[in-house]
Chains A and B, each alone.
Chain A
Amino acid sequence: MSEHELDARNLLCPLPVIRTQDAIRQLQPGDRLRVHCTDPGALHDIPTWCRIHGHGVGDIVQQGRDITITVEVAAGES
């Protein structure tokens, strides 16, 4: 299991989702990806994308305009 970071700040949805989707394709089951973004739409869209693809959603931290969403990569999903 390894930890990864993705900078999706100043991108508007669905780009943070697309970047998350592309990043997860390169990761292994059990890896964790922290996505940093600023579009409030990501608060809905990234967890939704994770749910429909079977990935886990960990901490969601919002500080001012900065949002960090932790994705837990599941096995056999894309």
Chain B
Amino acid sequence: MTDKRKAVALISGGLDSMLAAKVMLEQGIHVEGINFFTGFCVEGHTHAIRRQDAAKPKRNNALWVAEQLGIKLHIVDVIEEYKDVVLNPRHGYGAHLNPCLDCKIFMVGKALEWIDAHGFDFIITGEVIGQRPMSQRKDTMPVVARESGAEDRLLRPLCAQNLPPTLPEREGWIDRGQLYGFSGRSRKPQMALAAQFGFTEYAQPAGGCCFLTDEQYAVKLTDLWAARGERRYELDDIMLLKVGRHLRPRPNFKLIIGREEGENHFLEGYRKQFVHLHAVDFEGPLALVDGQADAADLELAARLVCRYGKGRDAEQVRVRITDLQGDSRIVAVTPLSPADVPQAWYV
């Protein structure tokens, strides 16, 4: 009797990877999930931070999917290694800063390392030919298999019948006849299969799962690199791009201004790393100063911060400015009016 064959499934939290894993479970394969945290993942961070979103469900969809399937999920921190994918994508970017093809190659490559380390036999993904314009095309499927090093140990159960047989199919570990031949952007085949499996709840299909596909986010990241004069980032940088209003009144500094209580709380966690400001006599936002700001810059920043607080119509507002040593001083300023804030300042 042979041992049960083992596959690791790339679980994004969306419907396709959920279905792909289920198809393998139905064939008696031992499946465990793997999910990579790049720092750019859209996993309800904004909802988790913003108080106005407190009632919205906050769950990691990949974990939720794993529990529905009854499989383990291993979440792997790839933040550092992923930087090279973002900064130097060999296959270029999609519409914004999304290096989708390089990302898929990277993730399948990491999954390959994982299966080799854990004695698993093959990798499965929820990819469907034609589903995504950059990374899920008939001509890019072999590129992912080849450049990741996974070769024929990479199986896409949802579109396998449109692709050459892989190792698990050739070896008879699984029945190719019970795999699928989905293609194109239509979601109907996946929804029908979900219904067949009795999945009545799943994350919104084909939704974006990466901030790098978001136009506004890409603009903020590009601005960050331009201001620093080099293309690099740390995790805190990319998390802060998800939070608050970002205004750059001068090339040498940017303000990150909380939009509501939850964001202010989140920004408080960064007070030791940034010069920060907040109004003293009126309720208002906390603002972090990113960059080098001199006294005149900080006065301008103070006037700008007041514009978003309850003292916006006051003649003068006192603002506390705290430096990186924790020393603070108070300045009295006149809040800027909306007309004084050029649209070009908004990043």
Contacts and interface: CB of A to CB of B under 8 A. Distances in A.
Contact of B75 (A9, A12, A17): A17
B194 to A, nearest CB: 20
Interface residues of A, number: 21
Given A21-B74, A49-B73, A12 B64 contact: no
A29 interface: no
Contacts of A9: 269
Interface residues of B, number: 30
A49 B71 CA distance: 10
Nearest to B57: A44
B206 interface: no
A20 B74 CA distance: 12
Contacts of B37: 14-15, 18
A14 B72 contact: no
Given A12-B48, A14-B43, A52 B67 contact: yes
Interface string B39-81: 0010111001100001001111011101100111111110000
Interface string A1-23: 00000000110111101100100
A39 B48 contact: yes
A18 B76 CA distance: 7
B239 A12 contact: yes
Which of B37, B48, B60: most chain A Cβ within 10 A?
B60
A40 interface: yes
B74 A48 contact: no
Nearest to B63: A48
Nearest to A41: B58
Given A12-B49, A14-B60, A40-B58, 10 more contacts: A9-B269, A13-B60, A14-B35, A14-B43, A21-B75, A40-B48, A41-B48, A49-B73, A52-B71, A52-B72
